Amino acid sequence: MQFEVFLPRPNPAAHAQLQLAHGDAVSAAVGRLVRMSRAKRGMTRRQLAQASGASERYLAQIEGGEGNPSVIVLSAIAQALDVPIADLLPRANGAPAAMARILDILGRVPATELPVIADLIEARLGEDRAGARARRIALIGLRGAGKSTLGRRLADELGFPFIELDRLVEQDYGAHVSDLIEMAGLATFRRYERACLERVLEREEAAVIAAAGGIVSNAQTFALLLRRCHTVWIKARPQEHMSRVMQQGDFRPMATSRQAMADLAAILDARASDYARAQVELDTSGDTVERSLKKLVLIMKRCLAGAAPAGTARPADNATSEAR
């Protein structure tokens, strides 16, 4: 079904005014945090100026919310105050002191111990992860990995409905995702995506869900997906991603293939640690759809039955080797 929508063009002057107001609010918040950190340590503005290399006058402007310090200047101020630079930046959710303490503690924990701590927190909150996921399966990964193809076939095999979040967003918005992003921005698309995911989780006890590759960019939405679905990272080599995208009729990568491949590799590298949080990894590189589907069905049937799925991402190497 084709959708057509006519929306008013954004007002550049109004947008600029909103951006200016947002910038003023951020500057004020940074100034307050610098001022509070300095006061907490009993430092005078002169002492902070000497330790950071910033002038007293400039520090006064920053603390008054009138300065616009660069990252380098703010880093020097943080070093002089002996605090992480993140402590001088406003938190989007206004995290309370207890949350700041938790984040500080987690920052000192070795990465290898974080999964164990996450399990302890979930157990303390009484979250039944298996129950919360029900029989919902979410496929994540870059475009061209095979999420839609395998997802539709997996849903048929299991007798579950197949749901593509992008298609739900298009139905809600009344236009293609690309038009939504162009007209209203990526942040708006992510809000629609979150709302659609919440609706699916509320309505469907069993489903196969194909998520957009960039869903990992919103930490809260991705955490919700991980918590409420059995997640599978469908992966492939960058060259196969590119080839499959072109086979789908998108020849844009051909124009600048070298740059497109570099961009694809960079995106994959940036998202890999998030994708790796999935329960299962399935590498479809060099496999036919039938072979990949057979492996995926076997893994997910075991997973839904409550057994440790063969080829789980813990350890990830098992799934990768089995999927070849």
**DSSP for 105-167, written as a single string:** HHHTS-GGGHHHHHHHHHHHTT--HHHHHTEEEEEES-TTSSHHHHHHHHHHHHT--EEEHHH
Q: Please, is 297 exposed, middle or buried when counting C-beta atoms within 10 Å of its C-beta (0-12, 13-18, 19+)?
A: middle
Backbone angles phi, psi at 135, to 5 degrees: -115, 35
Terminal C-alpha separation, the chain: 37
Q: Return the number of other C-beta atoms located less than 10 Å from residue 101's C-beta.
A: 11
Question: Which of 314, 216, 313, 234 is CA-nearest to residue 274?
Answer: 216
Tokens 């947002």: give the residue: 22
Q: What whole-number distance in Å separates Cα of residue 142 and Cα of residue 30?
A: 36
Largest CA distance in the chain: 71
What does the pLDDT read at residue 25? 81
Looking at residue 9, the DSSP 8-state letter turns out to be P
Give the pTM.
Answer: 0.64
What does the pLDDT read at residue 128? 56
Domain ranges of the chain: 25-93, 116-322
Looking at residue 312, the DSSP 8-state letter turns out to be B
Cβ 87 vs Cβ 33: under 8 Å: yes
What does the pLDDT read at residue 7? 46
What does the pLDDT read at residue 269? 82
Which residues in 229-247 are b (16+ Cβ under 10 Å) and which e? bbbbbbbbebebbbebbbe
Kindly state which CATH superfamily the domain 116-322 is placed in.
P-loop containing nucleotide triphosphate hydrolases (3.40.50.300)
What does the pLDDT read at residue 282? 93
| Spans in the chain with pLDDT lower than 50 | 1-10, 14-15, 18, 251-256, 307-308, 310-324
- Residue 319: CB partners within 8 Å, gap ≥ 6? 280, 281, 282, 283, 299, 311, 312, 313
State the CATH architecture for 25-93: Orthogonal Bundle (1.10)
Q: How many CA atoms lie within 13 A of 1 on its CB side?
A: 7
- Residue 10: CB partners within 8 Å, gap ≥ 6? 183
What does the pLDDT read at residue 107? 77
In the sheet that holds 230-235, the strands lie side by side as: 162-164, 206-210, 135-140, 230-235, 280-283
Is the preceding omega at residue 315 within 30 degrees of 0, hence cis? yes
